[in-house]
Amino acid sequence: MGNRRVGFCLSEKKKKRMNLSAFAELCRQRGIEVVEIDLSRPMASQGPFDVIIHKLSDVIVEAEHDSQSQSLLSNFQEYVSMHPLTVLLDPLPAMTQLLDRFASYHIMNKLQNSLRDRGICSPPYLEISTSNQSAIREAVEEKQLSYPLICKPRVAHGSHSHEMSLIFCPAGLSDAQPPCVLQSFVNHGAVLYKVFVVGEAHFTVERPSLKNFPLGSFARKTIFFNSHEVSKPESCSHLTALDENMPRLPPPSEEVMVALVRELRAELGMVLFGVDIIVNIQTRTLTIIDINIFPGYEGVPQFFSSLLSHIESVLESRGTAPPSSPLPP
């Protein structure tokens, strides 16, 4: 049957956050060898690999203007094209499109058409590529976006991607830094649901989020914030503080979540991703606000077992399954 080998291509930060050494030990107990791929060396000398798990977001973004990153990416792409039987989690084109919020919002918009009967939607949005204020105002009116607007950078990766703003009136549009996306803000009771997907499995984790704001245009200075700081499990911000009398909405039903994840997996062709959803306090509509590549899986203790289970099903389909034995606790 030969060795079963899984290659990991992750940044140092991601490896630590994921605790790759602990996962590698779990794999070894199941007869699967884990190899950390070094992109600065020829990959052929490090292979062969049955499966490669990667998050090359840094490399993909930097390759646009950095020759060293371009070289690392080419090394990876060359290996993948020469070894078509190696399963990639996830395919590069699928991941690349999610690094661009213009592309990912287009996907979200498309999804709402097939999920509308499930009470799922995504807010109206606008791609901004110009600094021309009159053109931006005109486009906001034409698209019938409602204030407040949430403004997000086009590139959905790196620390800058979390720097966002809430714009309350047309005058505030001058604070939008193109290229960016404007999205109608939806009041959601300061609760965000992060749905983490691992193959067939998904897990929903509740996080803090932005508080409610009066709807409609009114003169107020733009609020700048970092979405990471607002929605971390331990976040405590004046931007997430709700009125005491605000009733809590019930979380989304599992049936609806299953339908959403099924549609997303089919549309994206991906195995490791997350989706951020909120519940509109006025309409109770489930609202998709972002899709994330290979997220942190914080608050998902079943991540390792689910990922290992998916890897084993991939190996089995390739005829390289490890002998059957119970998963360690």
Query: Binding residue per annotation — 232?
Result: no
Q: How many CB atoms neighbour CB 76 within 10 A?
A: 21
Query: Binding residue per annotation — 191?
Result: yes
Query: Binding residue per annotation — 79?
Result: no
Query: Binding residue per annotation — 29?
Result: no
Amino acid at residue number 235: S
Query: Binding residue per annotation — 299?
Result: no
Query: Binding residue per annotation — 185?
Result: yes
| DSSP class of 192 | E
| Cα angle: 71, vertex 77, 80; to 5 degrees | 145
Query: Binding residue per annotation — 184?
Result: yes
Query: Binding residue per annotation — 177?
Result: no
Query: Binding residue per annotation — 132?
Result: no
Q: In the sheet where 180-184 sits, what is the strand order?
A: 125-128, 180-184, 149-153, 163-167, 223-226
Query: Binding residue per annotation — 292?
Result: yes
Query: Binding residue per annotation — 38?
Result: no
Query: Binding residue per annotation — 162?
Result: yes
Residue 280: closest CA among 146, 119, 127: 119
Query: Binding residue per annotation — 55?
Result: yes
Buried b (16+ CB within 10 A) or exposed e, 27-64: beebebebbebebeeebeebbebbbbbbbbbbbbbbbe
Query: Binding residue per annotation — 90?
Result: no
Query: Binding residue per annotation — 192?
Result: yes
Query: Binding residue per annotation — 314?
Result: no
Give the residue ranges of DSSP H helices in the chain: 12-18, 20-29, 57-62, 67-82, 92-98, 101-115, 133-142, 227-231, 254-268, 303-317
Query: Binding residue per annotation — 189?
Result: yes
Query: Binding residue per annotation — 276?
Result: yes
Query: Binding residue per annotation — 186?
Result: yes
Query: Binding residue per annotation — 183?
Result: yes
Known binding residues:
14, 55, 101, 152, 162, 183-194, 209, 276, 290, 292, 296
The binding site for ATP consists of 101, 152, 183-194, 209
Q: Residue positions in the annotated binding site for Mg(2+)?
A: 276, 290, 292
- Which residues contribute to the annotated binding site for 1D-myo-inositol 1,3,4-trisphosphate? 14, 55, 162, 292, 296
